[in-house]
Amino acid sequence: MTKDQETESGSYRNKYDEVEKVQIFEQEFMPHIDSMYNFAYRLTFEEDESKDLVQDTYLKAFRFINSFERGTNAKAWLFRILKNSFINDFRKKSKQPSKVDYQEVENYYNSDDVDEKNTVDLRVETLKDMMGDEVTNALNALAVDFRTVIILCDLEGFTYEEMAKILDIPIGTVRSRLHRARNLLKEKLSSYAQSMGYK
Amino acid sequence: MLDNEASQDEEEYLNSHIDSCIVCFEEYNLEKEIRELLRSKVNKHQVPGELVTSIRNKIIESV
Ligand SMILES: [Zn+2]
């Protein structure tokens, strides 16, 4: 697999030499480490797990750097690797398999009232009074699939198309998942607001 | 529309609709505010310096 790469098969057209690899790594990958670490933290909620996940992702990214096209969206490429590592390696290892998450997701996907009107009573003024921890807790209380689309869209500013690639789902699913995620978040925020006596 | 994912026609329609429909107007503002809230208030974590060092060392070793 190593020496055959020099063949003219075309499958390794963008093969980089060692210097280029390190250059790409430093210039295109490392600048995203802050976002990557925060994404990992919002998935795992743990510092050690996040560190492992990010390191794992960067080592994979370097190992498979030939499948990265220079000048394309490195951040989306890295996010996709991290998300897959999380699903394949980390979620399996975790002591609490996220059964509940899936249940919640299933229930939502199977519910008939797709376009249920917003019944949540939440006021803009109430939101303005909320503290960082309350907002963070509301986000963290969402099932991982819903949490992920909010992170990608609202915190990281990815487009629907980029999200579809990162998550390996159709763009229509991105749209509907995001819609439900936002409704769920509204519910969480609203119940936080109530329990904090904002209303 | 909030995500800049609507076509120009859709955008125009939604804008004129929001101007006249209080329900959608309120809904839109609420969602906008929630996004602001997420961006400004969700806790951010500082990347541990040793993580960056460790990654670089492992890359250098592998080259
Ligand atoms: Zn309306």
Cα A22 → chain centroid? 26
Residue B47 inside a domain? The answer is yes
Query: Hey, is the C-beta of A59 within 8 angstroms of any chain B C-beta?
Result: yes
Q: What is the mean pLDDT of chain A?
A: 83
- Using the mean position of ligand 1's atoms as its centre, give its distance from the Cα of residue B24 in Å: 4
Domain boundaries, chain A: 15-90, 99-195
B44 vs A33: CB contact, 8 Å cut-off? no
Residue B53 located in a structural domain? yes
| Domain of residue B42, residue span | 8-62
Higher pLDDT, A121 or A150: A150
Own/partner pairs for A8-13, CB < 8 Å, 24+ apart? A12/A66
Tally of domains in chain B? 1
Give pLDDT, residue A12. Answer: 54
Residue B2 belongs to some domain of the structure: no
> Ligand 1 centre from A151 Cα, in Å?
27
What's the CATH code, domain A15-90? 1.10.1740.10
Tell me which chain A residues have a C-beta less than 8 angstroms from the C-beta of B58. 55, 59
- pLDDT tens per residue across span A8-47: 444 555 689 989 999 999 999 999 999 999 999 999 999 9
pLDDT, one tens digit per residue, over A36-95 is 999 999 999 999 999 999 999 999 999 999 999 988 999 999 999 999 999 988 776 655
Does CATH place domain A99-195 in 1.10.10.10? yes
Q: What is the Cα A70 distance to its own chain's centre?
A: 22
Of B1-5, B31-35, B59-63, which range is least confident? B1-5
Say which residue, A89 or B41, is predicted with more confidence: B41
